[in-house]
Amino acid sequence: MHVRDENWKRMGELRVHGGRIDMAASLYPSAPLPWIDLSTGINPICWPVPPLASALYQRLPLARDMAQMTAAAAEAYGLPANAAMIPVPGSEVAIRLLPRLIGARRVAILGPTYGSHAAAWRDAGAEVHELDALPDLRRHDIETLVVVNPNNPDGRIIAHADLTAFAQAWTVTGRRLIVDEAFADVRPDVSILALPRLPAGTLVLRSLGKFFGLAGLRVGFVVVTESEAPDWRGLLGDWPVSGPACEIARLALRDTAWIAATRLRLAEDRKRLDAILGGAGLKIMGGTDLFGLFEAPDDIDLLDHFARLGILVRGFAAESRRYRFGLPADEAAWQRLVAACDTLK
């Protein structure tokens, strides 16, 4: 067990984003190898990528490649009749482009949530407010509202019926609603892409990398009404996603057997994660089937504790007692997590 020390300051970057395993390794050169990265909400067992035709690497993506991938995404996620699905090189890029395309000056974000949303709007000069609940529909000092559903990092869910009713009432007066559904693959029932029509002014973000474990592929989708699609296509250009990425995404999105089996496995693994960490004295604060959020006692820096044992977890600068844990990839990783938790008792 290690109390907080100077590591709190030097490890500040590890509390901004998950996945910085190289930085963690440089800060803890004596940690046992291999490192186990539990700092992200990415499925640790990825969709099995097959060998691809060499032509996909040799030529620019064809319009057909992009169209087939997008059709697979629409079939997997749903697509309202009046909407278009735009491929993007990862949903993070879309988040950074939102202020440029929407241009709102007064933005509210339902938080606490993924920090890139607030950062993108502040960098663009917008006035950003963090809310702890959906705003009153009579509130007109907000031009754009951002909702992450399911939420990262606490897994908060806004039920489909509730968010649908809110979206229709919120946008009818010209206000904008952005719904980030990066983790909706594990809760497809909450997605508003099942709506027959997307309310005007509503935009939905989807991410391939989380559920399919293919974050390095950098594939995501923006769903907007058809009238807004030309602006996104014009900004992103003709080849927003590579040819190999188009093919892999198309095949993965159409693999319904793998998707169904993976949802079941992730649900069981999440129960196991809760049992291990709860048994070690951590308080379960929420999560999804891809990660859990936990609270530690005051005197323990869990980021430091686990890093000394070669396990990277996600800490939060604003919530010093809270930590997000992803899922181990195999039994060896599970057992190392158990052993690391045993030293907390």
26 φ/ψ sector (left φ>0, alpha ψ -120 to 50, else beta): alpha
With 0-12 CB in 10 A as exposed, 13-18 as middle and 19+ as buried, what is 77?
buried
The encoded tokens of residue 321 equal 């007692």
pLDDT given at position 12: 62
Beta strands in the chain (DSSP E): 36-37, 83-88, 106-110, 127-131, 144-148, 176-180, 202-207, 220-225, 283-288, 291-295, 311-312, 314-315, 322-326
pLDDT tens-place string over residues 131-160: 999 999 988 899 999 999 999 999 999 999
Question: pTM of the prediction?
Answer: 0.93
Span 325-344, average pLDDT: 96
pLDDT bin (cut points 50, 70, 90) of residue 2 is: very low
The continuous run of DSSP H or E covering 271 comes out as helix 256-279
Q: Is the pLDDT of residue 223 over 60?
A: yes
C-alpha span between 122 and 102 (Å, rounded): 14
List 315's β-bridge partners, or say none.
Answer: 323
Q: pLDDT at residue 235 above 50?
A: yes
Each residue's pLDDT tens digit, 238-254: 999 999 999 999 999 99
Q: How far apart are CA 56 and CA 62, in angstroms?
A: 9
* Residue-range domains of the chain with CATH: 7-45+257-342 (3.90.1150.10), 55-254 (3.40.640.10)
Tens of pLDDT, residue by residue over 94-127, are 999 999 999 889 999 999 999 999 999 999 999 9
Judge whether residue 16 has pLDDT over 70: no
Per-residue pLDDT averaged across 193-212, rounded?
97
Band (15; pLDDT cuts 50, 70, 90): low
Mean pLDDT of 178-197: 97
Residues 268-301 have pLDDT tens digits of 999 999 999 999 999 999 999 999 999 998 778 8
In this prediction, residue 1 carries a pLDDT of 42
